Amino acid sequence: KAQVDAGFFGDFYFGRTVWHRRRGMPGFGGWFGQKALAGGGPLIDLGVHRLDLALWLMGYPKPTWVMGNTYDPIARAAAAASGKAFDVEDLAAGFIRFDNGATLVLEASWAANIREAELMETRLLGTQAGLLQHNVGESYDFDAHMYYEQGGAQYDLRLHPTGAVGLSAMHDYAQAILTDTPHPAPGEEGLVVMEILDAIYESARTGAPVQIKN
């Protein structure tokens, strides 16, 4: 993020952020799969995290409109075969446009016919360099890479993590309280995330793009 803020990547103009599972429906038959109790499926369970990461790296641009769709063929068939309740999506996808002209694709699934058991990946393309953050070997460990061209040569660099993510988040929270300074992840950003997720569900329901009024 420090490299992003320093302008190394230039302006991000396109991105794709995903969290897919080959088969990973939590508590199948329980409240997780019931819309009245959970509100939705993998979009708000998994996609929310990858969306927040992408927006944070992009500097939280303002969304202007969203188009999306949801699907449930795998989970619906499994629910019917087992007699269990399930009425949320097992895969969701959205396309988000921002006021600066940038666009972002978001994908999230609990059940998808893919190679990986667990795939988490965020790619951002900038005018000066590209960025990739992804999980390693289908685990919850992560790597990041940057790609750029300089002097006619192309470079691929691996970025090493600098500490435990959980400890870093707690440190930032404590510092904001102790120093009476703004938190680096304010609640207003969470509201933007929820507006986008709600718009994806609404677009899936109506079949039309949804405008977000800022």
pLDDT at 102: 99
**CA 126 – CA 199 distance, rounded (Å):** 26
CB 18 within 8 A of CB 50: yes
Q: pLDDT tens digits for 157-172?
A: 998 766 666 677 788 8
* Residue 19, both tokens: 């969290």
- For the chain, the domains span 2-211
Q: Is the pLDDT of residue 183 over 70?
A: yes
7, 58, 108, 161, 193 from 130: Cα distances, Å: 12, 12, 22, 18, 23
Domain 2-211 has CATH 3.40.462.40: no
Collapse the DSSP code of 134 into the 3-class scheme (helix H, G, I; strand E, B; otherwise coil) and give the result. Answer: strand
Q: Kindly report whether the global pTM for this prediction surpasses the value 0.95.
A: no
Exposed / middle / buried, residue 144 (Cβ in 10 Å: 0-12, 13-18, 19+): middle
Q: pLDDT tens digits for 14-25?
A: 999 999 999 998
Cβ-Cβ contacts under 8 Å for 189 (sequence gap 6 or more): 52, 55, 56, 60
Please report which helix (H) or strand (E) contains residue 206, including its range: helix 187-206
Q: pLDDT tens digits for 32-88?
A: 999 999 999 999 999 999 999 999 999 999 999 999 999 999 999 999 999 999 999
